[in-house]
C-alpha cells in the first residue's frame, strides 16, 4: 500500500495512522477482548473509521495485493473522504477483440454444413414426393381392384330367364356351360361330359317343377353335370332295367329343402346317359 500517497491525498480531511505489524497484533487482541473483531485491520489492508459510534458497516476495509491494487485503494479512500488524488498511471487501452479468421478447416466445415442443409431439404422434398406417389398408387390399386370386380361381374354368365325359347335347347346350353365353368381346364380330359340325350318328358318336367326360374334351372344343370361326369356319389337305383339294358337311377337336385327336386335318368349300356325327368321328392316316375 503506498502509504505516503494516501497521506498526501487525505491528511487534510482525515487522520491517517500507519499500523506496524506488532501494533496490528495488539489491536487485533484488544478488539477481540472488546468483542469488536469486526473492526479489525491487518497487514496490507486499509480501514476507514468514521467519527462517532463505530459501526462495522460504516467502516469499510480495502485490501491490496499488488501496487496497482494499492493505487486503486488510495483513489477509493480519497473519494470517500473528499480528498484529491490523481495518478499518472495510464489506464490500459481497450484492446479490440480479434476478428476471428476462418481457417481452411473452418471453411470446409461451413461448406459441409451448407451442403448438409441442402441435402436435408432435398430429402424432405423426396419424402413428400414418395408420400404423394404412395397415395396415388394406393388409389390406383383400389380403382384397379374395383374395375376387376366389375369385369368379373360383367363376364359372369347371365342366368336371367331363358337363353333359348325351347327348354331342351336352354337346358343343353346350361349343362355344357356349367361343365365348362366348373371343371378346371386340366381336369376336362379326366372328367368329360358323357354323351347324353333328353327323354320325351324331360323338357316338360323342367317346365313343371322349375318354370322359367333361372336359379332352379341352374341347379338342375349342376345335378346333370355331376351325373354326366361320373361324380354323383348319392345316386341310387330306381327300378328295373329297360328292354335295351338301360338302368334307372335317381339323384338329388336339392337337399334339405321343402319338396326337394330329384333327377331321374337312364344309364345306357354303352356309357351314354338319357336324362329322363325332374320331379319333386315324392315322385318316383321315370
Q: Please write the tens of the pLDDT for every residue from 59-91.
A: 787 777 777 777 777 777 777 777 555 554 444
Q: Enumerate residues 6+ apart whose C-beta is below 8 A from 21.
A: 43
Q: Where are the beta strands (DSSP E) in 19-89?
A: 45-47, 61-63
pTM greater than the 0.85 cutoff: no
236 pLDDT exceeds 90?
Answer: yes
- Host H or E run for residue 44: none
Residue 158 binned pLDDT confidence (cut-offs 50, 70, 90): very low
Q: What is the DSSP letter of 95?
A: P
The pLDDT value recorded for residue 88 is 47
Segment 153-174 shows an average pLDDT of 77
> Mean pLDDT for the chain?
83
Strand partners, 247: 267
**SS3 of 198, please?**
strand
Q: Enumerate residues 6+ apart whose C-beta is below 8 A from 81.
A: 10, 13, 14, 48
State whether the Cα torsion 220-225-228-233 is positive or negative. negative
Q: DSSP for 241-266?
A: PPTTS-EEEEEES-SSSTT--EEEEE
Q: Please write the tens of the pLDDT for every residue from 10-32.
A: 766 677 777 777 777 777 777 77
The pLDDT value recorded for residue 17 is 75
Record the cell numbers describing residue 259, joined without a space. Answer: 319338396
Between the ranges 207-216, 234-243, 245-254, where is the mean pLDDT highest?
Answer: 245-254
224 pLDDT exceeds 50?
Answer: yes
Domains of the chain: 3-81 (no CATH), 167-279 (3.30.2310.20)
Residue 221 binned pLDDT confidence (cut-offs 50, 70, 90): very high
Record the cell numbers describing residue 33, joined without a space. Answer: 477482548
* CA atoms of 31 and 270, how far apart (whole Å): 145
Bridging pattern class, strands 273-279 and 236-237 = unpaired
The pLDDT value recorded for residue 275 is 98
Phi and psi dihedrals of 170, rounded to 5? -60, -45
Amino acid at each position: 500500500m503506498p502509504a505516503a500517497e494516501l497521506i498526501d491525498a487525505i491528511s487534510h480531511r482525515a487522520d491517517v495512522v500507519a499500523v506496524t505489524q506488532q501494533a496490528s497484533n495488539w489491536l487485533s487482541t484488544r478488539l477481540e477482548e472488546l468483542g469488536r473483531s469486526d473492526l479489525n485491520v491487518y497487514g496490507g489492508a486499509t480501514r476507514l473509521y468514521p467519527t462517532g459510534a463505530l459501526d462495522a458497516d460504516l467502516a469499510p476495509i480495502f485490501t491490496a495485493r499488488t501496487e496497482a491494487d494499492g493505487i486503486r485503494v488510495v483513489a477509493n479512500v480519497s473519494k470517500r473522504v473528499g480528498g484529491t488524488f490523481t495518478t499518472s498511471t495510464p489506464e490500459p487501452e481497450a484492446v479490440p477483440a480479434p476478428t476471428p479468421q476462418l481457417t481452411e478447416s473452418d471453411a470446409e466445415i461451413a461448406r459441409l454444413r451448407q451442403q448438409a442443409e441442402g441435402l436435408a431439404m432435398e430429402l424432405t422434398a423426396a419424402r413428400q414426393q414418395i408420400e404423394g406417389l404412395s397415395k396415388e398408387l394406393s388409389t390406383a390399386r383400389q380403382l384397379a381392384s374395383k374395375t376387376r370386380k366389375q369385369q368379373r361381374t360383367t363376364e359372369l354368365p347371365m342366368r336371367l330367364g331363358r337363353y333359348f325359347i325351347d327348354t331342351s335347347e336352354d337346358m343343353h346350353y346350361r349343362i355344357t356351360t356349367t361343365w365348362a365353368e366348373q371343371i378346371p381346364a386340366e381336369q376336362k380330359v379326366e372328367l368329360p361330359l358323357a354323351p347324353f340325350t333328353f327323354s320325351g318328358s324331360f323338357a316338360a318336367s323342367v317346365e313343371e317343377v322349375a318354370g322359367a326360374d333361372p336359379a332352379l334351372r341352374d341347379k338342375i344343370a349342376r345335378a346333370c353335370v355331376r351325373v354326366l361326369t361320373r361324380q354323383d356319389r348319392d345316386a341310387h337305383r330306381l327300378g328295373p332295367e329297360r328292354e335295351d339294358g338301360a338302368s334307372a337311377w335317381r339323384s338329388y337336385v336339392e337337399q334339405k329343402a321343402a319338396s326337394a327336386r330329384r333327377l331321374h335318368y337312364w344309364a345306357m349300356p354303352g356309357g351314354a346317359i338319357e336324362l329322363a325327368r325332374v320331379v319333386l321328392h315324392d315322385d318316383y316316375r321315370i
